């Protein structure tokens, strides 16, 4: 998959451009949300170079639902961290919503993470001893919204993931699936244009996993772009596009013509209680 | 409004670790309370020394018979007879820098009034005595030159004596017996309080020195002459004039030492003030050390918490916190701890000083300065010791912080 000719857009990207994009002024001409060209990421472990990514090029349009798969150590997490502006590539171009991320300062990257990206981690990464509500509020602390708006948005996000009953629960009072839903609500709360999820179902049982996928599918239907990493083909089956990594490169990139509907799959999985009754 | 959010985040973080926050604050609380209390004690001492010096009377010189070595030990018991009434008279007429002169002698004794009795000191003094001591007769009057000349048996009571001998009645006009000699009370002095040695200055009876010599002590010489200079600037001049005059009158050869001693009260006063100031500084510096230790405690806890909360920092960064947001939050946490600790410390310090003054009967004196000082110091401590850990947190890479185990 080759990138389209957009190199003339790269280069001069100032923070004013970041701001204009964030305020929605810039029109994305070609509808591409992510444009990545020959991305490399090399870790230095003492004298040893570990090539985690060796020239990844990919484009993702708005509204896509991509599953990234591949063997352990193939560079999926490394790739996701760069997508999420948590890490910087060693080499290569990354444009998010037409902003050349490679040229941004630390503070500008923080702004991008705050406004454009919602990240969901395998290990949930919630603040302990902090209520679901306060966890979800977190991104809004670093943007300019009023207290009232912050509360409303957080409750709305918690409703989207079906946790409005649990807003004052602490993470240790929630199941793994519920914790992951809190994390998803946190990712959603600032209306990101993309949600990135690195093995979001990795710590969950199969039924809970499908429930989480149901949420992602609903979000995707509302127009949010979703990229998730998974090892399980069952999970990837809910995505519309499959990208497979191997040794730091993209091995295959296909449309999933047989996308499953999570809401329907759930009905076929008996809950544990029902199993007990059998 | 973003800063308000960060302040809120800081408060939430502190609330999440109540015990740790409290223990960190404890260091500052103790430090500030110690500084406040120590300064209060020191300044109380300074204050009471100044009060006592003022209560001595201003510009006072005391002349004793006998010479005094540098060590302060008076020598030559025989020379106790070198001062006379005429010396006092000569000082008052011949020394222009001298304002008032009062010869003095004293006797101890049991005093009886009706069925009450009281043991006290009877000071034989001149008419000028109350001017020199800046004392005021509260009721009645003071004795006159006539009383001195005639050695009449009249006296003026100090407040303590008056309170003890005449608890319910007016002493003025009453008769008392001092060592069985009847005296008529003609006045009562105002309260003066304790002197620099902690003695009650009001536990005294003043009588004409001639009467005390003749009726009570039977010691025909003068034990001291109390003199006040015309102003604080003329103290040294007065001292010089008195020395010259007395040496001449006592016919002391040029190479011989004085047979009298002049004590300059302001010298003593300055020394005492300086000593108490040194005490204040010493106490305050000891207390500051504990404040410093409290500050290091803050740094220690903040450093630990940066390490312990690395993942939290990573999470915050992953949702859009900038380095400076993290820096601000950690600084605010440190500041809140030190400020809150400072405020509580001030309360404890004030309470502690009050306790000390009521139980140890030591005057304490809390000044706005000492409160501002310790408050300012605790803010500085918070900023200074909070900055390094906060910066360390702010410089973390989001992904490294998130991966931290
Ligand atoms: N911080 C790091 N320092 C050094 N090497 C790293 C680091 N992070 C990842 N690597 C290496 O980079 C390669 C890719 O790692 P990555 O975590 O992206 O794999 P992954 O595809 O996510 O694997 P998994 O499916 O097990 O999560 C691995 O060989 C790994 O050892
Ligand atoms: Mg991984």
Q: What percent of chain A is predicted at pLDDT more than 70?
A: 86
Question: A115 to chain B: which residues are within 8 Å by CB?
Answer: 320
Per-residue pLDDT band at B218 (split at 50, 70, 90): confident
Read off the pLDDT of each residue in B226-255 and give the average, rounded to a whole number.
88
The length of chain B is 405
Rounded Cα distance between A156 and A140, Å, is 13
pTM: 0.70
Give pLDDT tens digits for B143-186. 999 999 999 999 999 999 999 999 988 999 999 999 889 999 99
Q: How many angstroms separate the CA of residue A175 from the nearest CA in chain B?
A: 20
Which of the two residues, B294 and A75, has the higher pLDDT score?
A: A75
Q: Where are the alpha helices (DSSP H) in chain A?
A: 15-22, 76-83, 106-116, 132-141, 147-160, 176-188, 206-221, 233-236, 262-268, 272-277
Per-residue pLDDT band at B64 (split at 50, 70, 90): confident
Residue B70: the pLDDT is 41
> Chain-wide mean pLDDT for chain A?
87
CB B370 within 8 A of CB B39: yes
Residue B363: the pLDDT is 78
Question: A113 to chain B: which residues are within 8 Å by CB?
Answer: 317-320, 398
Residue B252: the pLDDT is 85
B318–A84 C-beta distance less than 8 A: yes
* Cβ partners under 8 Å of residue A97, min gap 6: A21, A26, A28, A33, A116, A193
A110–B322 C-beta distance less than 8 A: yes
> Is A186's pLDDT higher than 90?
yes
> Is A25's pLDDT higher than 80?
no
B399–A130 C-beta distance less than 8 A: no
> Chain-wide mean pLDDT for chain B?
85
Q: CB count, 10 Å around CB of B397?
A: 15
Give pLDDT tens digits for A168-185. 999 999 999 999 999 999
> Is A26's pLDDT higher than 80?
no
Query: Which residue, by CA, sits nearest to atom 11 of ligand 1?
Result: A52
> Is B78's pLDDT higher than 80?
no
Testing ligand 1's pocket by substitution, the residue of A52, A56, A122, A250 carrying the most ligand atoms inside 8 A of its CB is A52
Mutate to test the interface with B, among A45, A82, A106, A134 (most CBs of B within 10 A): A106
Residue B48: the pLDDT is 74
Phi-psi region of B177 (alpha: psi -120 to 50; beta: other; left: phi over 0): beta
Output the CA torsion sign for B14, B18, B21, B25.
positive
Read off the pLDDT of each residue in B28-37 and give the average, rounded to a whole number.
87
Residue B55: the pLDDT is 66
DSSP structural state of residue B200: B
Which of the two residues, A241 and B335, has the higher pLDDT score?
A: A241
Q: Is A115 on the interface with B (CB under 8 A)?
A: yes
A87–B402 C-beta distance less than 8 A: no
Rounded Cα distance between B378 and B256, Å, is 61
Q: How many Å lie between the centroid of ligand 2 and the Cα of residue A74?
A: 8
Q: For B404, which residue in chain A has the nearest alpha carbon?
A: A125
The length of chain A is 278
Which of the two residues, A4 and B66, has the higher pLDDT score?
A: B66
Residue A144: what are its φ and ψ, rounded to 5°?
A: -95, 85
Q: Pairing relation of β-strands B116-125 and B204-208?
A: parallel
Nearest bound ligand to CA A52?
A: 1
A125–B402 C-beta distance less than 8 A: yes
Q: What percent of chain B is predicted at pLDDT more than 70?
A: 92
> Is B71's pLDDT higher than 60?
no
Give pLDDT tens digits for B275-301. 777 888 888 888 788 778 877 887 887
Testing ligand 1's pocket by substitution, the residue of A69, A72, A73, A199 carrying the most ligand atoms inside 8 A of its CB is A73
Q: What percent of chain A is predicted at pLDDT more than 90?
A: 72
Rounded Cα distance between B348 and B37, Å, is 9
């Amino acid at each position: 998959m080759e990138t389209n000719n957009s190199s003339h857009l790269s280069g001069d990207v100032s923070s004013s451009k970041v701001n204009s994009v964030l305020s929605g002024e810039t029109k994305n001409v070609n509808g591409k949300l992510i444009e990545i060209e020959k991305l490399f990421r090399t870790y230095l472990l003492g004298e040893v170079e570990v090539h985690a990514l060796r020239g990844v090029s990919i484009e993702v349009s708005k509204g896509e639902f991509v599953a990234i798969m591949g063997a352990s150590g193939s560079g999926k997490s490394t790739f996701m961290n760069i997508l999420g502006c948590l890490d910087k590539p060693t080499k290569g171009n990354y444009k998010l919503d037409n902003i050349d991320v490679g040229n941004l300062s630390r503070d500008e990257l923080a702004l991008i993470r705050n406004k454009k990206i919602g990240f969901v981690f395998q290990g949930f990464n919630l603040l302990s001893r902090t209520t679901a509500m306060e966890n979800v509020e977190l991104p809004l602390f670093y943007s300019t919204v009023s207290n009232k708006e912050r509360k409303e948005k957080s409750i709305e996000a918690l409703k989207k993931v079906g946790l409005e009953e649990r807003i004052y629960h602490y993470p240790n009072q929630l199941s793994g699936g519920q914790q992951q839903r809190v994390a998803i609500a946190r990712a959603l709360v600032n209306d990101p244009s993309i949600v990135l999820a690195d093995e979001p179902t990795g710590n969950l049982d199969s039924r809970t996993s499908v429930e989480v996928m149901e949420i992602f599918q609903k979000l995707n239907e509302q127009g949010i772009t979703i990229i998730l990493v998974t090892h399980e083909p069952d999970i990837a089956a809910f995505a519309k596009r499959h990208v497979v990594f191997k040794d730091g490169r993209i091995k295959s990139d296909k449309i999933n013509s047989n996308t499953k509907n999570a809401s329907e799959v759930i009905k076929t999985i008996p809950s544990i209680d029902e199993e007990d009754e059998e | 409004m973003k800063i308000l959010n960060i302040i809120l985040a800081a408060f939430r973080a502190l609330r999440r670790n109540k015990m740790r926050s409290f223990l960190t604050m404890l260091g500052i609380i103790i430090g500030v309370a110690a500084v406040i209390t120590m300064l209060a004690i020191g300044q109380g001492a300074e204050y009471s020394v100044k009060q006592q010096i003022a209560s001595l009377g201003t510009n006072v010189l005391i002349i004793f018979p006998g010479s005094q070595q540098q060590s302060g030990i008076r020598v030559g018991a025989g020379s106790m007879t070198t001062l006379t009434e005429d010396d006092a008279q000569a000082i008052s007429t011949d020394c222009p820098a001298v304002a008032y002169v009062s010869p003095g002698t004293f006797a101890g004794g049991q005093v009886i009034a009706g069925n009450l009795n009281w043991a006290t000191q009877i000071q034989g003094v001149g008419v000028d005595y109350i001017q020199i001591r800046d004392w005021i007769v509260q009721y009645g009057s003071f004795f006159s030159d006539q009383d001195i000349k005639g050695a009449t048996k009249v006296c003026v009571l100090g407040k303590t004596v008056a309170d003890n001998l005449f608890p319910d009645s007016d002493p003025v006009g009453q008769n008392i017996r001092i060592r069985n000699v009847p005296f008529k009370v003609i006045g009562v002095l105002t309260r003066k309080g304790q002197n620099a040695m902690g003695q009650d200055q009001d536990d005294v009876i003043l009588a004409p020195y001639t009467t005390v010599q003749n009726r009570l002590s039977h010691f025909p010489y003068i034990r001291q002459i109390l003199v006040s200079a015309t102003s604080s600037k003329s103290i040294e001049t007065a001292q010089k004039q008195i020395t010259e005059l007395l040496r001449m009158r006592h016919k002391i050869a040029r190479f011989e030492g004085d047979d009298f001693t002049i004590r300059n009260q302001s010298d003593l006063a300055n020394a005492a003030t300086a000593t108490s100031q040194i005490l204040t500084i010493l106490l305050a510096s000891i207390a500051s050390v504990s404040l410093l230790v409290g500050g290091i405690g803050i740094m220690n806890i903040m450093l630990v918490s940066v390490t312990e909360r690395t993942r939290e920092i990573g999470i915050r960064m992953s949702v859009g916190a900038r380095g400076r947001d993290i820096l601000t939050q950690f600084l605010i946490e440190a500041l809140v701890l030190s400020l809150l600790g400072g405020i509580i410390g001030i309360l404890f310090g004030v309470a502690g000083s009050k306790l000390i003054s009521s139980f140890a009967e030591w005057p304490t004196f809390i000044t706005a300065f000492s409160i501002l000082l310790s408050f300012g110091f605790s803010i500085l401590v918070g900023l200074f010791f909070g900055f390094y850990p906060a910066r360390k947190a702010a410089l973390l890479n989001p992904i490294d912080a998130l991966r931290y185990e």
